[in-house]
């Protein structure tokens, strides 16, 4: 890593923009902003800036624009693709939105909420619940991630099936552009078909086009009833068939449909040693329905499962008898992620294919790992209703980390090839960041690349916004 | 209107691109492409081109790019804002997609459908239904409008409340860019979070950034049950309160919530003279729920209405006892639009506000018409669940059309002012086109205008795509 530093003059100008409390340039103070939540990446920066107002963000972007200083916008730092960590040359400044953390307005009559970008997702969920509303974005990182980061990365999670990605939940954005100009795209309107929908550009752009400073989201009625069941099936084919049947039988009330290969359960035991899955089958499904108060949701789910068992599609099923049991089912699903983290370095993917191609994806990926990387442990689980499989691979326990990382890159490349050969995506929900940038860019058609380059150049002509993330350097753009 | 014409050389080059059957330059042959469905606008063109393949569209755009010839992409010509009719100087060529009308693929297992841009919406709806699926976009013009036009204009309609606008229903687009390059953005994936979501740019861009040649959409299970009721209420305030209560009580199963001011009923009688509304109240609501087969939807709606009547929110209610009765309720709603068309020229708006501001919008608009334009008849109806009110105004019957049109422009301006004063939009679903361009552009912030201009310049640097629509001329862009 090249060493860079800022001159005292520049540091003092930056301090002028964000105030004394808003600037950190010493190693110890910067440390927490330079490593990600999952512990996968560490990087460097010239300084960490923590603006205390939207006007501060504007002042600082004006200054960076004048100085030609590159900027990494940073939320809760819970991303998984090094989108907010500069692992390359450390010549950028990090702009953390954490001090912009106020909920500006909740309007339960219109089912809308406006918040600063730095509001933690859980805070927004809690505030919505206090008004008997639901903000449905649900992620493992929800206690740390920020709504601005959720918007910038188009976050997904376990309720996408019912409520959509972050993109589908956002009504408006407020953005400081690369030149420091403020764009206010809040409206409160459900429907506004007036020209280019500019907010769509910034959603999922991973900080490469501007800094999101405020987010306006849709709320929903808080479901009065939730029913959860844990199922055992014989195959992933059966799981796909079951999902399609559930879509028809359960109306639009399915809020989650997660599949878990039974090999994952051992991993969850790393977190909770006494944990056993409620069923023993090789493919397990966690299904959740939710609705308002006046629907016999329990009867709906029970009837659906009875039919599916009679037809042999489901081998075994446990319908949660209480909220506590439902939470226990979810803790198995969440334990997988925590269990992987406990194992240290591992290959983490976020593939998507057509739903009907899920069995082929898993079968080919397992065969690839078994034949090309014997000793590595393949895990398949994910949001089956979205076609999104996290096919992760753990290195053998005795393999030194450096070797595991080198080999892991090959494993990842092989898995990407399999997804692409099925017409799938290498990033269903985690985004591209720095860690998938090359594979992403290599996979684009020339026409697609030229359009991406044209948009980037149009909105950030100096290439100051999150350089190194998502796109190759400005000089090499087509 | 200035008179222009194409040289024989250019005509022959264009014919080379689209074939002899694909070019019309005589007045009679062009007539049907130069007037809109509603009969509001007539325009001119140098020629009408009807490409028979995506390759034809590319060849023709390459040629137009070389010649600097402006192009109007045209679907079913059912838009209401002169987006596909050049009422200005007739120096453009119209590119009709009508010959690209094949459904390319239906995949009921994945609930997706791929179609050429020129496929008529009703054809897509019928093909989906044949697979026991639903494509939920539902518009008065569905027998004529084309899916490419629906995408380009981000069409709305009566089921937006449940299923969203066209934007929410589109999984992928195929687009011929301004330079003739083809961008294939089909994927079949439900979830793909890989960089800028380019399709979002073209959705709602009204042909100003490229020509959409193919559309990939989401399908849904065809609802097995639909329940419809026609309600009488005392006020628009009561209608808003009822909607919020319905959201909570009826889960996410509301597929339509239309409000109709009783003054509109007389208009529907122009279409069906014997028609009477099922209720006599001053504010009428058409509510529809839909679901899968295993929900007691009739009981859900009946219970909800009983409670609302006991609380005095609903004065009178008729729950449709048959499909025929439900269709009769809908024919009242549809009759409003046809009745207005029968009356000839009238002021047509498409306003949206926060749902809680609907009563204020209607009250202020009625007061404005009564005091400033006595003798004009104000009609309020719309998609209340989206905050979208079509507040239309009919001129006095004895007013000559030229005078009515002149005065109508003032009426429109006054109504726009009222919507804007409430933080609303002048185009909830119809788009901007040519007829709302000035008001739209005047209402944008400088930052917004600069971004729109930057995008347009990035993707259509020569300004060939639908000049005059949505944006001011390239020379005057900021």
pLDDT in tens, A418-445: 999 999 999 999 999 999 999 999 999 9
Q: Spell out the residues 6+ positions from residue B146 whose beta carbon is closer than 8 angstroms to its own.
A: B75, B76, B97, B98, B101, B117, B118, B119, B120, B121
**One domain for residues B76 and B153:** no
CB contact residues (below 8 A), chain A span 261-290, against chain B: none
Is residue A65 in some structural domain? yes
Least trusted range by pLDDT, from A142-156, A411-425, B37-51: B37-51
Q: Which of B324, B234, B331 is CA-nearest to residue B279?
A: B234
What the block records as the tokens of A110 is: 């219109």
A66 touches chain B (CB under 8 A): no
- Domain co-membership, B214 together with B275: no
User: Which one-letter DSSP state was computed for residue B281?
Assistant: -
Which of B109, B113, B194, B223 best probes binding to A when mutated, by most A CB atoms within 10 angstroms? Answer: B194
- Summarize pLDDT for A83-121 with one digit per residue, the tens: 999 987 779 999 999 999 999 999 999 999 999 999 999
For the domain that residue A73 is a member of, what is the CATH number?
Answer: 3.30.43.10
Q: Cα dist. A121→A116, A256, B140 in Å? A: 11, 19, 40
- Is A378 a domain residue? yes
User: What is the reported pLDDT for B2?
Assistant: 44
Q: Looking at the structure, do residues A198 and A110 belong to the same domain, yes or no?
A: yes
Of the partner residues A188, A252, A386, the one whose CB lies closest to the CB of residue B191: A386
The pLDDT assigned to B324 comes to 96
**CATH assignment at residue B183:** 3.30.465.10
User: Where among B200, B221, B242 does a domain terminate?
Assistant: B221
Instruction: Give the nearest chain A residue to B355 (CA atoms).
Output: A110
Q: Would you call B428 and A252 a contact, using CB atoms and an 8 Å cutoff?
A: no
Query: Tens digits of per-residue pLDDT, B88-128?
Result: 777 999 999 999 999 999 999 999 999 999 999 999 999 99
Name residues 233-252 of chain B within 8 A of A (Cβ): 240, 244, 247-252
Q: How far is residue B145 from each of residues B36, B80, B119, B140, measured CA to CA in Å?
A: 11, 12, 8, 9
Distance between the two ends of chain B, CA-based, in angstroms?
A: 27
In A12-129, which ranges are E strands? 23-24, 47-49, 71-74, 93-96, 103-107, 112-116
* Whole-number Å distance between alpha carbons of A345 and A402: 10
What's the average model confidence in pLDDT over A204-212? Answer: 98
| CB within 8 Å of chain B, chain A residues 364-383 | 383
Count of positions (residues) in chain A: 478
Provide the number of structural domains found in chain B. Answer: 4
Q: Do B181 and A387 touch (CB under 8 A)?
A: no
Per-residue pLDDT of B423-447, as tens digits, reads 999 999 999 999 999 999 999 999 9
* Whole-number pLDDT of residue B68: 95
Predicted local confidence at residue A45, as pLDDT: 95
Closest alpha carbon within chain B to A162 = B252
| B261-285 tens-digit pLDDT | 999 998 888 878 888 899 999 999 9
Q: Let me know whether A333 and A347 are in one domain.
A: no
In chain B, residues with a C-beta closer than 8 Å to the C-beta of A291 are 251-252
Shared domain for B383 and B441, answered yes or no, is no
**Chain B residues with beta carbon closer than 8 angstroms to that of A110:** 354-356, 387
CB contact under 8 A, A452 and B198: yes
Please tell me if residue A465 touches chain B, with a CB cutoff of 8 Å: no
Which one of B56, B79, B96 terminates a domain?
B96
Which of B191, B301, B462, B470 to mutate to test binding with chain A, by most A CBs within 10 Å of its CB?
A: B191
> How many other C-beta atoms lie within 10 A of the C-beta of residue A457?
15
Alpha-helical (H) ranges within B92-198 are 121-130, 147-153, 160-163, 166-169
What pLDDT score was predicted for residue A330?
94
Helix H or strand E encompassing A225 = strand A225-233
Cβ-nearest to A221 among B200, B247, B470: B247
Q: pLDDT tens for residues A321-358?
A: 999 999 999 999 988 888 888 888 999 999 999 999 99
- Residues B265, B170 share a domain: no
Q: What is the pLDDT of residue A3?
A: 52
Q: Which pLDDT tens digit goes with each residue over B35-50?
A: 987 778 899 999 999 9
Which CB contacts under 8 angstroms, 24+ apart, belong to A300-305?
Answer: A300/A227, A300/A249, A300/A250, A300/A253, A300/B294, A300/B295, A301/A227, A301/A229, A301/A250, A303/B294, A304/A245, A304/A246, A304/A249, A304/A250, A304/B294, A305/A229, A305/A231
Contact residues, chain B, for A455 at CB < 8 Å:
196, 201, 455, 458
CATH number at residue B336: 3.30.70.2190
Express each pLDDT in B130-152 by its tens digit. Answer: 999 999 999 999 999 999 999 99
Residue A78 touches chain B, beta carbons under 8 Å: no
Does any domain span residue A476?
A: no
Q: For residue B423, give the DSSP letter.
A: T
Q: Which two tokens stand for residue B432?
A: 């901007």
Least confident window among B16-20, B149-153, B339-343, B363-367: B339-343
Residue at A474 is within a domain? no
Are the Cβ atoms of B252 and A253 closer than 8 angstroms? yes
Chain A partners of B112 at a C-beta cutoff of 8 Å? 354
Which of B251, B431, B432 has its CB closest to that of A295? B251
How high is the pLDDT of residue A2? Answer: 45
Is residue A467 situated within a structural domain?
A: no
* Per-residue confidence (pLDDT) for residue A254, from 0 to 100: 96
Task: Find the CB nearest A248 among B168, B292, B428.
Answer: B292
pLDDT above 90 covers a percentage of chain B that reads: 90
ipTM value: 0.96
Q: Two tokens at A215?
A: 């987010």
CB proximity A1 to B under 8 Å = no
Task: Mark B271-292 as b/e (b = at least 16 C-beta within 10 Å).
Answer: beeebebbbebebbbbbbbbbb
Q: What percent of chain A has pLDDT over 90?
A: 90
Residues B340 and B459 in one domain: no
Nearest-by-Cβ selection for A423 from B188, B300, B354: B188
Same domain, B216 and B298: no
The pair of structure tokens assigned to A142 is 């929800």
Pair type for strands B283-291 and B254-261: antiparallel
Same domain for A284 and A374, yes or no, is: no
Which positions 431-450 of A are in contact with B (Cβ < 8 Å)? 431-432, 440, 444-445, 447-448, 450
Q: Which tens digits make up the pLDDT trace of A348-387?
A: 999 999 999 999 999 999 999 999 999 999 999 999 999 9
Chain B residues with CB-CB distance to A224 below 8 A = 248
Q: Which of A190, A303, A387 has the CB atom closest to B387's CB atom?
A: A190
Q: Is B351 among the domain residues? A: yes
Mean pLDDT, residues B208-221 taken together: 98
**Coil, helix or strand at residue B146:** strand
Closest CA–CA distance from residue B28 to any residue of chain A (Å)? 33
Q: For B447, which of A182, A201, A455 is closest by C-beta distance?
A: A182
Mean pLDDT in chain B? 95
Give me the pLDDT at residue A55, please: 98
Q: How far apart are CA B366 and CA A359, in angstroms?
A: 59
Verify that B397 and B252 share a domain, yes or no.
yes
Quick one: average pLDDT of B313-337? 94
Would an 8 Å CB–CB cutoff place A186 in contact with chain B? no
Distance CA B326, CA B250 (A): 19
Total beta-carbon pairs less than 8 A apart between chain A and chain B? 265
Chain B residue with minimum CA distance to A203? B196
For A292, which residue in chain B has the nearest alpha carbon?
A: B251
Are the Cβ atoms of B459 and A440 closer than 8 angstroms? no
The answer, yes or no, to whether residue A9 has pLDDT greater than 50, is yes
B189 and A448 within 8 Å at the Cβ level: the answer is: no
Claim to verify: residue B21 and residue B141 sit in the same structural domain: no
Domain extent for A439 = 343-455
**A417 vs B: CB within 8 A:** no
- Would you say residue A464 lies in a domain? no
Maximum distance among all Cα pairs of chain A, rounded to whole angstroms: 75
B1 pLDDT more than 50: no
Rounded to an integer, the average pLDDT of A175-181 is 98
Q: Does A421 touch chain B (CB under 8 A)?
A: no
pLDDT-derived band at B344 (thresholds 50, 70, 90) equals: confident
Q: Which of A114, A134, A194, A303 to mutate: most B Cβ within 10 Å?
A: A194
Q: Does residue A163 lie in a domain region?
A: yes
Contact B459 A454 (CB under 8 A): yes
Considering the domain architecture, whether residues A377 and A430 belong to the same structural domain is answered as: yes
**Partners of residue A423 in chain B, C-beta under 8 Å:** 187-189
Q: Closest CB to A110: pick one of B184, B356, B447.
A: B356
- B356/A107 CB distance under 8 A: yes
Q: What is the mean pLDDT of chain A?
A: 95
Q: Which of B205, B221, B237 delimits the end of a domain?
A: B221
Best to test chain A binding among B129, B251, B254, B445 (most A CBs inside 10 Å): B251
Interchain contact, B191 vs A458, CB within 8 Å: no
CB contact under 8 A, A249 and B424: no
């Amino acid at each position: 890593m090249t060493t860079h530093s800022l001159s005292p003059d520049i540091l003092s100008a930056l301090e002028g923009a964000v105030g004394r409390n808003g600037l950190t340039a010493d190693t110890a103070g910067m440390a927490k902003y330079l490593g990600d939540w999952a512990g996968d990446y560490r990087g460097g920066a010239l300084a960490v800036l923590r603006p205390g107002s939207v006007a501060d963000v504007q002042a600082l972007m004006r200054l960076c624009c004048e100085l030609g200083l590159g900027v990494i916008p940073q939320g809760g730092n819970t991303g998984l693709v090094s989108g907010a960590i500069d692992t390359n040359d450390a010549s950028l400044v990090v702009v953390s939105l954490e001090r912009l953390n106020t909920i500006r307005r909740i309007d339960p009559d219109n089912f809308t909420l406006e918040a600063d970008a730095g509001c933690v997702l859980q805070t927004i969920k809690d505030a919505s619940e206090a008004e008997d509303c639901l903000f449905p974005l649900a992620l493992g990182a929800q206690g740390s991630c920020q709504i601005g980061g959720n918007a910038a990365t188009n976050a997904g999670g376990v309720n996408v099936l019912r409520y959509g990605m972050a993109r589908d939940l956002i009504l408006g954005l407020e953005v400081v552009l690369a030149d420091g100009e403020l764009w206010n795209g809040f409206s409160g309107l459900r429907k506004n078909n007036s020209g280019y929908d500019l907010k769509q550009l910034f959603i999922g752009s991973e900080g490469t086009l501007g800094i999101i400073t405020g987010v306006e989201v849709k709320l929903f009625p808080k479901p009065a009833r939730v029913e959860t069941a844990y199922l055992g099936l014989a195959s992933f084919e059966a799981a796909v068939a079951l999902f399609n049947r559930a879509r028809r039988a359960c109306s639009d009330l399915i809020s989650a449909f997660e599949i878990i290969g039974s090999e994952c359960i051992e991993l969850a035991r790393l977190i909770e040693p006494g944990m056993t899955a409620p069923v023993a089958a090789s493919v397990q499904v966690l299904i959740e329905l939710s609705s308002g108060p006046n629907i016999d949701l329990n009867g709906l789910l029970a009837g659906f499962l009875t039919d599916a068992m009679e037809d042999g599609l489901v081998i075994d099923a446990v319908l949660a008898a209480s909220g506590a049991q439902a939470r226990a089912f979810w803790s198995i699903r969440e334990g997988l992620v925590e269990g992987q983290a406990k194992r240290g370095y591992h290959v983490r993917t976020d593939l998507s294919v057509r739903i009907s191609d899920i069995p082929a994806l898993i079968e080919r990926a397992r065969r690839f790992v078994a034949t090309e990387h014997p000793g590595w442990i393949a895990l398949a689980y994910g949001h089956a209703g979205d076609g999104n499989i996290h096919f992760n691979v753990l290195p053998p326990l005795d393999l030194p980390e450096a070797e595991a990382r080198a080999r892991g890159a090959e494993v990842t490349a092989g898995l990407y090839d399999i997804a692409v050969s099925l017409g799938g995506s290498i990033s269903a929900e985690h985004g591209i960041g720095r860690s998938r940038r090359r594979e992403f860019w290599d996979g684009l058609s020339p026409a697609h690349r030229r359009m991406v380059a044209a948009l980037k150049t149009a909105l950030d002509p100096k290439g100051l916004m999150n350089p190194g993330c998502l796109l190759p350097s400005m000089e090499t753009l087509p």
